[in-house]
Chains A and B, each alone.
Chain A
Amino acid sequence: MGLEEKLPSGVLLTTVEQVAGYARKGSLWPATFGLACCAIEMMAVGGPRYDIARFGMEVFRASPRQADLMIVAGRVSQKMAPVLRQIYDQMANPKWVLAMGVCASSGGMFNNYAILQGVDHVVPVDIYLPGCPPRPEMLIDAILKLHDEIQATKLGVNAIKAQDIQESLALTAPATLEMRGLLP
């Protein structure tokens, strides 16, 4: 509703943050949106063996207005990119994007003119899931990590503070070129 963003900083805000995070991660409704082979694994996650319903996520919404999470499951062609962006725009805030599979994350093996080299060219991605295709367990793992992130999301003034901290960290972070040894 937007009211929760206007609370003053303090115990009230952090409590609301906790409750909102818990509710949002407890009922993260994905949009019905499959693009390629990865979508088959996404469907398997809804089946009895993996059962995403345990996290209250079996409610795949047909209308993006009611969805919270867009699982980009598969390669995005140049022609699909505007459609994908439109669906993202139609979703109501707060919304999250999960890039599933190497194709959605970076273009993967399809290094050609027809395929978008990573869906982060058109929408902001919250979590990348590698693999070709990632197994349903990996998708569940990514979703659980996203849940943690959602639980830790800040609201209102705290969100602005968190953004500032992140920005200052990013400014001082070493470039990949300057990194030495094993990657973290």
Chain B
Amino acid sequence: MNTDLGVFGNDPWWIVVIKAIAIFVVLVLVTLFTIWWERRVVGRMQNRIGPNRVGPLGLLQSLMDGIKLALKEEIIPKSAYRAVYWLAPVISATMAFIAFAVIPFGPEVSILGVMTPLQLTDFPVSVLYVLAVASIGIYGIVLAGWSSGSTYPLLGGLRSSAQMISYELAMSMSFVAVFLYAGTMSTSGIVAAQEPIWYAIILLPSFLIYVTSMVGETNRAPFDLPEAEGELVGGFHTEYSSLKFALFFLAEYINMVTVSALATTLFLGGWRAPWPISLWEGANVGWWPLLWFLVKVQLFIFVFIWLRGTLPRLRYDQFMRFGWKVLIPVSLVWIVVVATARVIRNEFSIATEDILLWGAGLLVIVVIGGWILQWRSSRKEEQAEELAALTDDGPFDPMAGAFPVPPMPGQEFTYTSRVSQRPLAAATVTPAVTSGPSSTHLPDDDAPKESSNA
């Protein structure tokens, strides 16, 4: 498969420059469009209209946001570590851009008479390169939080780095199955290997794990804990204003596009046309594949927006538990299954691939089902324990915590100390008050009855 890479690295320098600039322009345009699209779609989902004042249909909204941010005052806090504070958004944004160098946009086309693939470059381990670059991007966030010299950014930065590192694990493990099947780690090779069938279909568990972890990796809802306003103000970029904040904003959206593009490349057949269109011979040659690619990426971005418009934010411990105790074990088991299937097929060539895959699917279902059953039973036990703990320690005392509280499920309400003192107080009250429609006396009448019932 590695022989395919011969087409890369032979371009004249001006083609390389054109491609690099084109990637930059496409990413910026896609970001501008995505921000507007997100605000419109979320608006529609909430029965609103969304931005529609600046430009036709409000299309220039994100451009105006950018210009306004650029024209704003630049504040650097006194306690900030200036050099790092300045460097952090630059790291974030550049890493977001350069990850796109190995994403294939299309097959070989002719640009000004030169035949060249629609991809800046490729090498045998380019998927690992994307992962590495994404990891360096996390430095931008950590350093931003640390160098701001303020508490909330520090906490937000730590939170996002912890989140991104844990979800990157699950993400990279979901790639392993793809590597096993494609026999290569180069993006163009993986796209070529998906000619018969998309990996999203035959490697469905990997695909689902990837889609889940890519939302966690990009800090988007429902996993947008680093930007939980109620807890952390703005997260790692709380102290950033003006262009530096715009850079973080840009980086976040480009990361979204990058993970979507990676999902398209690894699981949805990259720039290859989807099924009914692929019957047409011209679908996978020339410039058309660029369109299929962008449409598929937009599909993923729409899923991102959809999730944001639908789901509430997770709690931090739930989120971490989900990553470490569900996604990672499931992907480990799945990798073992895939590897076994590959080995059996290669060694014995007795069973067809389909039968093995059915078996593998069954195994995953058993694993997940077993896990859910166990989780449910342990939760029931916990609940029973909690209930027992509540009911065990004596009669319910509403005044135990210095102010009255209602009884919990399983607790029985009985009038206690406070009410038992009431008759004493009531004895001193004058008849004029008791004759009025006073509610203070009702408990006194009820109290003896209740206690006799209990």
Contact = CB atoms under 8 A, between A and B. Distances in A.
Contact of A63 (B43, B49, B72, B237): B237
Contacts of B240: 65-66
Given A56-B58, A94-B73, A27 B64 contact: yes
A90 B76 CA distance: 11
Contacts of A4: 71
A65 B239 contact: yes
A63 to B, nearest CB: 4
A90 B60 CA distance: 28
Contacts of A23: 64, 67-68, 71
Interface residues of B, number: 36
B64 A48 contact: no
B302 interface: no
B233 interface: yes
B249 to A, nearest CB: 9
Given A32-B229, A56-B64, A66-B234, A20 B71 contact: yes
Interface string A73-109: 0000000000000000010111000000000000000
Nearest to A57: B51
Nearest to B70: A1
A156 to B, nearest CB: 12
Contacts, number: 104
B243 A1 contact: yes
Contacts of B61: 26-27, 56
Chain A interface size, as a band, is: 20 to 34
Contacts of A51: 43, 48-50
Contacts of A63: 233-234, 237-239
Interface string B396-418: 00000000000000000000000
A25 to B, nearest CB: 9
A62 B240 CA distance: 12
A53 interface: yes
B385 interface: no
Interface string A1-14: 11010000000000
Q: Is the interface of B mostly helix, strand, loop or mixed?
A: loop
B50 A1 contact: no
B114 to A, nearest CB: 39
B18 interface: no
A54 interface: yes
Nearest to B71: A20
A92 B39 contact: no
A92 B73 contact: yes
A120 interface: no
Contacts of A135: none
Interface string B33-71: 000000100010011111111100010110011011111
Interface string A124-148: 0000000000000000000000000
Given A23-B64, A26-B61, A65-B238, A53 B48 contact: yes
Contacts of B46: 48
Contacts of A26: 53-54, 60-61, 64, 68
Q: Which of B48, B60, B69 has the most CB of A within 10 A?
A: B48
Nearest to A32: B229
A24 B67 CA distance: 8
B285 to A, nearest CB: 42
A144 B242 CA distance: 24
B71 A62 contact: no
Contacts of B74: 1-2, 92
Contact of B50 (A22, A53, A92): A53
Contacts of B129: none
Given A24-B68, A62-B233, A63-B234, A56 B48 contact: no
B68 to A, nearest CB: 5
Interface string B62-101: 0011011111111100000000000000000000000000
Contacts of A22: 54, 64
Contacts of B239: 63, 65
B65 A56 contact: yes
A142 B245 CA distance: 28
Nearest to B231: A62
B241 interface: yes
Given A1-B74, A65-B241, A92-B73, A48 B53 contact: no
Nearest to B54: A26
The 7 residue pairs across chains A and B that have the minimum distance between CB atoms? A63-B234, A62-B229, A23-B67, A26-B64, A93-B73, A48-B47, A92-B73
11 contacts: A22-B54, A23-B67, A26-B54, A27-B64, A48-B47, A56-B51, A62-B234, A63-B234, A65-B241, A66-B245, A92-B73
